Structure 1
Amino acid sequence: MDLVKGCLPLCSWLQNPVVLQHISFVFHPKWKLDELESAMRDLIAKKKDIQGELDHPQNRGKLRSNQLQLWLNKAGEMEDKVNQLLVDYSEGNCDAGSWFQNCYSRHKIGSEAFNLKEKITQLTAQQLEIRFTDIPPPKPVPESSKTVGKNIISNVDLACSYLADETVDIIGIWGMGGVGKSTLLKKIRHSLSGDANMGFKHVLFIQASKDIQMEELRKQIAKSLQLEPSAGKEDIFNVLKISNFVLLLDNIWEEVDLIDLGILHPYSDNNSTNQYKHKVIFTTRSEDVCTKMGAGEKIIKVECLEPDEAWDLFKHNVNLDVIESDEKFKEIAWQVMEKCGGLPLALKVVGKAMSNKKSVQDWEFILSSIKNSGTSEVQGVEESLFPILKFSYDNLPGNIQQCFLCASILGWLLMKDDLLLFWMGLGLIGDFVDLQEAYCNGENILKTLEESCLLSFDDDGCVSLHDVIYEMAVWIASGCGMNMNKWIVKKYDWSTVEIPSINAENWRSADRVILSGKMELLPILSHQCFDLLCLMIQSNSCLKNIPEGFFRQMPNLTYLNLEGTCIKELPKDIKCLVNLQYLNISSTNISSLPKELVYLKKLQYLICRYLEGLGKVDEDLMSRLQKLKVIDIFPSGWVDLEQLKKLKKHVKAIGMRVVSKEVLQQLSCLPTTWLYLYNLDIISLPFDTLSCKMHGFLQFLIIESCPRLEQIVMYGRKTHLNILIILNVEKLSNIIWRDLLPSDFFHVLKQLLISGCNLDNLAWVLHLPCLYQFQIKDCAKVETLFYIEEREIQQQEVSENRPTFPTLQILQLYNLPKLVSISNFALDFPRFPSLEVYQCLNLKKLPFKSDINNNQRMINIDCEREWWESLEWEDNTIPSHLWPNFGRDENPNECTTSGSE
């Protein structure tokens, strides 16, 4: 009886509804999940009804109420949380571990499901009034942008009329530098990308310059045709001779041999009976070049702007509110505009430079400076404007002025990222806590220069500089703070047969020497070059050794870049460079770092990227280089665990090979940039140990041959990753995302290569905003690359903010024997990428939408003839917009991303 009495309180406690609820969490979590899914289905149904009304034609063009938008956002959040909880339940093992752990896991899942269900039920029951407001009309377009460009429009129309004329084959556009020739050519190119493309299969826009070589022009054409970079004129000729094409050749300075480019000359006998249209349009500063190129009477001269158009363009670039606030401002602005001589480039550059000046005194000072700039001392129409353009340069902070001059004069050598690293090596960016801060500072400098119209970049990230701006930079450097006589800048012609001679005497007083191209021998220096601070000898496969004693003659050198040469070792006299702060020997034939580097006590940047066989770096070397900020020995080199601990004290960026779990753990405390994980004994890889740290700036990651790796876990923090390569990780079947969408996580990823893996689904790749190239190969089990549920397809169809593959230009599929479908729905390709398909014989359909017919651009497909002929088409008009190429080897063995070469 006493026992029964003792149990009564316990029975009463167990009958408490709250207690029973918690017990049910432990013993029946699946019931709670089923109830949660049922509530979620009700919410989704309501959301679909609302979405259907929002998408009704009569409601398009209207703004939804804030309350309605808030409800939709919450519904989306609830859906994500439910899906994540279901994933956690399916992936977690609630029956594993100790009894306590088991109970805790089941209770956690059950309680979260219960709480979510309560919130979802309340959200579903919420009464909503679907109200809209009309979108306010756009702000009036400034008058300047309405009227500027009348001459351009008429010239575009004239050029298009020439292109439509079957008797016209070559068209010349000429005018002074900065007058708008390139702008006109780009407008013509744009007009040919729409409905009025006149049936041209290829519209080739190629940029030349004063000293450009024929080989570089051929490379540009080959790239536009999706040919190999090494393609010669015969390869280009064979493609173009059976195509309608127009070549837009910008900024030539002398007659160009079209046949040497691989272009069938429009006037040749072979073309007289050709059924295809072959047209060439070029721009030049010289009317004589137009005549030599055979343009005949079909020449368009681009004139400077008339005063009214010049005024409109100037107002468009300056601060319009300031000008219109006072007649005095307007009077001064008009006089400044007149000094620009109607030259669009000057109007834009000077207008941008004045846009932040807000006092009459500032404007009067600017006008006085321009009037007293001494324009009469400079010869030539364009050159007479250098002092006026220089005002924009003078408006820059001191360190940005130096950055501009270096970028202008050396721009043809550097990509965007290389330019930032160059500035860092020269000390122009200043000190920084980590590489991310340095890049941010550099990006801000680039932004300032771009907003000032002094610098721009092409689609490939290379420096793109207007010739007039380049000439102005040389003029500034020569007479305004930098002695150009102390610069030796030479780009040797790759077609040169003879070894170019170098006058060693010129090195005596030089402070910067920049050499590129075909050069087999360096000069024998018999004298000290005390002024030499910067030496760049890049992209030279002919240079195989450095003369003994060469470095002994430059005791004050601080910057040395030998990237892309074929030197096999650094001479012992490298130890004489006791003031060296930057050393780059990337992509050379050097296989080990000489022990003499220990004498370089001031060395801050050691860049040894892509050195085959580098292996472990000498321990003594790392311990004695106490000034190192950046060490990049990716992908072959590494330092051991003890050295990593020492580097932790001062290094601000490190790239290397990871050889063990212990090294990987230590790297989690270091600012990593480029990492190569090879043959690590790990089952799961939490991504935050690589890049999501306080000072992490991981840009390039390779994961290869990790035999036990099953999953990669992405935690809720953005990365800076540009390139991701996953190779031969056969057990990898799952990528888990925590608290962040893949498109947000990989928000700057440009290249993705997956090979030898068995990932279940790659749908997370679809919306990556910056993805340029995607390659997947040797994945034996993959059947569908991109699979999403039906409800997601419907949501995607009504979403205008999440296009598939927004920037993709290259899609490569190699050796996927079980692949039957690229996706289970039709894909958008805004950029219409080139497609490469090899050894995917079970793939019978391509996921192009029927409205591909509305795009006038052909899509290149490299493939096997057998596969192409076996394809099935739901819309028989689609093949006419695809261009199959059967010329490439049908079993590519070396398919890599350009970033990993």
Structure 2
Amino acid sequence: MECIEPVLAIVKSGWGPICRQLDYIINLEKNLEDLNKQKENLDAKMVDLKEKITRDISKVATRECNQWLDYVKDIEQQVSVIQEKYKVDEKCLAGWCPNVCSKMKLGKRVEEIIKQITDLNNKRSTFEGRELTDAPLEKVQPQNVESNSLAATERTLKEILMFMEDDDTKMIGVWGMGGVGKTTTMKLLNDRLEGSPAFEIVIWVTVSKAGNRRNVQNAIAERLELIKSESDDQRKARICKTLRRKKFLLLLDDVWEMIDLSDVGIPPLNQVDGRKVVLTTRSLKVCRQMKTNKDVKVETLSEDEAWNLFIKSAGDVAMTSDIKQLAEGIVKECGGLPLAINVVGSSLRNNGDVVVWRNTLRELQLPTTSENEDMEEQVFPCLRSSYVLLQDCKKKLFLYCSLYPEDSEILITELVEYCWLEGYIHGVGSIEVAREKGHSVVMNLVDASLLETCAK
């Protein structure tokens, strides 16, 4: 017995691995069935997860979620290889001529894959409810403005960018009369910041005359992909929470009256670097009410700039001998306003009919009889809205200016005295008080971009 026992121990130790190898062959078909069921379960989880990802466009899959999907994709490929290998082996003389070594390797591989699938199925439950995270916001939403490469626009843009480099400058006001190119400048600024590391997000909001707290809030919430159906206070809190973690630039275009940014949900600009606001308005008064740190006035175009822009819009036909003088008159009537120049120039583009050009000039000189639909629909409303919102006494004083010859300089004291005598300035008991009140009215019209100061 002393000699036999060691031999039995050796046999037992060798028989275990052999039995294990035989199990791979014996259990192959059963394990393949189990593999297919496990794979179907895994496939169902994968489909559900992908549907969940695509259903919420404001969310993206987490790294853990994407990693799990990559593992599933890899496992599926391995299962396909195993299934194909099994089919090939079964075709060998209808399964009567099996390759034992090949079947053992295949059986072992099936069990390994089953374990990996089980681990993946278990892994899926570990990040249930944490599959998605907020989608990264697009840094800049391009405005795709067509720039005419005007030197004046570039100068204004350069000045704004220079002010933005100053950490102490948190809010910049860009002001000027309607149609002068403020919005174009703002759009160029928006697009210019596409690759800038200064901000994590640029938010564009068109405010307009109808702008109010809710409209501005909704526009910002939409840009930040927040829920708009909440109450104003809930939306305010959510906007503030989102922006508090970001370096942002808020572009407010066409502001007509003061906006309380804190009431909208904008966190304090001076608490952290990287928070700035740039707004456009027709009124310097709005800039003052908004407490801007720097103000940039957008001037009308010089004669040369206006002419060059008109040629780009109207084409070389404006340079022909029988039209050039009319074209110069038309440009003069447009008053250096890019909007008017582009609208009129485009309506005359490549039109060689002198009569049409002459009629266009006449209608610009006598706008009350004009039948130019482009000007009526695109330019006049832009200019008219500044006048409509004036108080009555300011309207009368402004209209009184039209009695002076075109392009003439008007003495403020003279204008005020005439308006006082006409009864346009109310609530004053003496000419001295009338002069002071009238002077304030005139300067309000200057701040509203309806009158221009003359060089002294």
What TM-score comes out, normalization by structure 1 length? Answer: 0.25
Higher helix share: 2
Structure exhibiting the larger radius of gyration computed from Cα positions: 2
Higher strand share: 1
- For CA contacts below 8 A with separation 6 or more, give which structure has more relative contact order: 2
